[in-house]
Chains A and B, each alone.
Chain A
Amino acid sequence: MKNIIFDFEYLAPKTLEEALTLLSQYDEEECKVIAGGQSLLILMRQRLITPEYLIDIKGISDLDYIKFDEKEGLKIGALTTHRAIEKSPVIQKEFSVLSEMEQNLSNVETRNWGTIGGDIAHADPCGDPAVVLIALNAKIKMTGSSGERTVDAEDFTLDYFETALHHDELLTEIQVPTLPPNTGVKFTKFSQIVGDLGLASVAMLITLDENKETCSDVRIALGGVAIAPMRAKKAEDMLKGKKISDALLAEAGQVASEETSPTTDVQASEEYRRDLIKVLVKRVGNEALARAKKA
C-alpha cells in the first residue's frame, strides 16, 4: 500500500546550530519544520502541506526546559511538551493558569508528544496556549543564523497559520514575566467536546491596587474570533482604574464582542461566537477578579 503522506527527505539535526544551517539551505516553499507534529502530520496526511524536506527538531534536547526565578520570570524551551508544562510543579505554583490550560488541550496522548513551540508556531487561530500567553504578557524568542530577537506574544501570530518567524528562524523560547502582586489570571475555552479546539476562548489577567479595590491593570486575550489571537483593548480600557463589578464586566464583554471579527463555519456562526465572547469575558473576568483578591 502506498503511504498516505507524500514522500519527503527527512533531516534530523541534533543541535540548534545544525537546524539553523539546514533551514538556510532550503527555500521556504520546499521545507518544513516538524517538532511533535501533532498538527502538522494531519495537514501532511491531507496533503495540504507537501514539503520536499522535513526538518525534525524534536531531538534537540537543549530546547526542552522549564526555568523560573522571581526576577527573570518563567522561561520555557520551545520543545517542552504540553504534558511537561501541565505537570511542572513550578508552573502549577506560579502560573497555574498555564497548567490548567494544558489540562484541557486535546488529550494526554497529544500532550505527551506535542510541544508548546510547535503549537504556537503552527498558529491555529483557535489554539489555546497563545491566548493565555498574550494575557500573561509573554514574549516569544526566535533564533536565526544571524542572531536572536523577541516579539510580544500578541504580535507573533499575523494571520491564519502565519507568524512573525522569518524562514531562517526557529521559535526557541517562551518568556513569561513574574506576575505582579494582587494579580489573578483565568482562561476558559468553549468547545463542544472536551479537549477540542475552542469555538471561542478568553484569557484575562487582572491586577488590583494595593487595597485590592480598583483594577490597576487588565489584559483580555481572545481566541477563535479573528484571524489570530487578539487583545480586546477597548474592553480593557473600560476596566482600568475602575472598581470591577458584575455590571461593568458585562459591559466590557459587550464591547469585547464588538472588537472581534469571527467567521461562520460548520461549528458555529459569527453571531454565536460573538455571543460566547460576551458571556465568557464576564465569567472569566469574575474568576480572574476572585483570584486577584486571593493572591
Chain B
Amino acid sequence: MKKELKFVVNGNPYDIWVEPNTLLVQVLRDELGLRGTHRACDSGTCCACTVNLDGMAVKSCSILALQANGREILTIEGMANGAELHPIQQAFIDNWAFQCGFCTSGQIMASNALLKENPNPTREEVQLQMDGHLCRCTGYNMINEAIRDAAGRLQAQKSQEKTK
C-alpha cells in the first residue's frame, strides 16, 4: 500500500506517494527523473549512489524512500548554479578526477559533505572520508587532489564573498 512521502530535493518540496519497498535511489531516479544519482552495486558496497541527506553523505540504495520523509536531499543535479558548475565539479574536471564518470556523482556528493565538515582536509583525511567509494578508472589519486583543490576554491570563494 502506497504511503505519503513529503521531502525536499534540491530545494524543491515534493509530496508524492510511494510503495514502502522503494529505495531512495529509485524515487530519485524513477519518480523524480534525477538520473545523475547512479545505481551501481545496489548492495551498499560502492557508494556510487551517495547523496546528501540533511547535509550528511548517505547511500541512497541503502535507505528506504520513506525514511527520507521530512528530510532534505541534495543530489548532483542540485550542485551547479545554472550553467556555472559547482567548484567541486570544476575541480574534478580540471584534475582529471574521472574517466567513465559512473562513480563521479557519488564522489562529488561525498566531497560536498566532507568539505562542509572539514573545509581544509589533509590527504589522509580525504582518504579516510572517501574510503567507501569505488572507482575503477582513476586510481584515486586525482580524486584526492581534486577534492583538496576544491577545498581551496571554496575557501577563496568564501573570502571573496566576505570582501564584497
Q: Which residues of A contact B (CB under 8 A)?
A: 1, 3-10, 12, 34, 37-38, 41-42, 45, 54, 56, 58, 83, 103, 106-110, 112-113, 194-195
Residues of A within 8 A of B67 (CB): 37, 56, 58
Q: Closest CB of chain A to B122's CB: distance in Å? A: 15
Pick the interface stretch among B8-16, B74-82, B127-135.
B127-135
A107 to B58 CA separation, bound complex (whole angstroms): 10
Pick the interface stretch among B19-27, B84-92, B95-103, B143-151.
B19-27
Residues of A within 8 A of B44 (CB): 38, 41-42, 110
A54 touches B132 (CB 8 A): no
Residues of A within 8 A of B58 (CB): 109, 112-113
B57 touches A3 (CB 8 A): no
Total contacts A-B at CB 8 Å: 86
Q: Closest CB of chain B to A95's CB: distance in Å? A: 20
- Chain B interface mostly helix, strand, loop or mixed? mixed
A10 touches B57 (CB 8 A): no
A41 touches B62 (CB 8 A): yes
Q: Does B142 contact A (CB under 8 A)?
A: no
Residues of B within 8 A of A42 (CB): 43-44, 62
Q: Closest CB of chain A to B142's CB: distance in Å? A: 20
Residues of A within 8 A of B113 (CB): 108
A110 to B131 CA separation, bound complex (whole angstroms): 11
Q: Does B56 contact A (CB under 8 A)?
A: yes
Please provide the chain B residues from 102 to 126 with a CB less than 8 Å away from any CB of chain A in the complex: 110, 113-114
By beta carbon, the residue of chain A nearest B30 is: A1
B20 touches A54 (CB 8 A): yes
Q: Provided the pairs A3-B21, A8-B21, A10-B3 are in contact, do residues A112 and B64 lie with their beta carbons within 8 angstroms?
A: no
B66 touches A113 (CB 8 A): no
Contact with A along B32-60 (1 / 0, CB 8 A): 00000000001110010010010011110
Counting from the closest, the 5 A-B pairs by CB-CB distance are A107-B132, A10-B20, A5-B21, A112-B56, A3-B21
Q: With A45-B43, A109-B59 given, can you name 9 additional A-B contacts, CB distance below 8 Å?
A: A3-B21, A5-B21, A12-B69, A37-B63, A41-B44, A41-B64, A107-B47, A110-B44, A113-B62
A108 touches B21 (CB 8 A): no
Q: Closest CB of chain B to A230's CB: distance in Å? A: 27
Residues of B within 8 A of A5 (CB): 21, 23
Q: Does B1 contact A (CB under 8 A)?
A: yes
How many B residues have CB within 8 A of the partner chain? 34
B131 touches A8 (CB 8 A): no
B66 touches A9 (CB 8 A): no
Residues of A within 8 A of B30 (CB): 1
A108 touches B64 (CB 8 A): no
9 pairs of residues in contact across A and B, judged by CB atoms under 8 Å? A5-B21, A10-B20, A34-B64, A37-B67, A41-B64, A107-B47, A109-B110, A113-B53, A194-B131
A182 to B23 CA separation, bound complex (whole angstroms): 49
Q: Closest CB of chain A to B17's CB: distance in Å? A: 12
By beta carbon, the residue of chain A nearest B43 is: A42
Q: Closest CB of chain A to B103's CB: distance in Å? A: 13
Residues of A within 8 A of B66 (CB): 10, 12, 56
B131 touches A107 (CB 8 A): yes
Question: Among B22, B43, B50, B69, which residue has its beta carbon within 8 angstroms of that of A109?
Answer: B50
A34 to B128 CA separation, bound complex (whole angstroms): 28
By beta carbon, the residue of chain B nearest A5 is: B21
Question: Among A41, A58, A113, A195, which residue has its beta carbon within 8 angstroms of that of B56?
Answer: A113
A45 touches B42 (CB 8 A): yes
Residues of B within 8 A of A4 (CB): 23, 42
A45 to B50 CA separation, bound complex (whole angstroms): 18
Residues of A within 8 A of B1 (CB): 9
A110 touches B62 (CB 8 A): yes
Residues of A within 8 A of B129 (CB): 108
A10 to B2 CA separation, bound complex (whole angstroms): 9
Q: Closest CB of chain A to B160's CB: distance in Å? A: 29
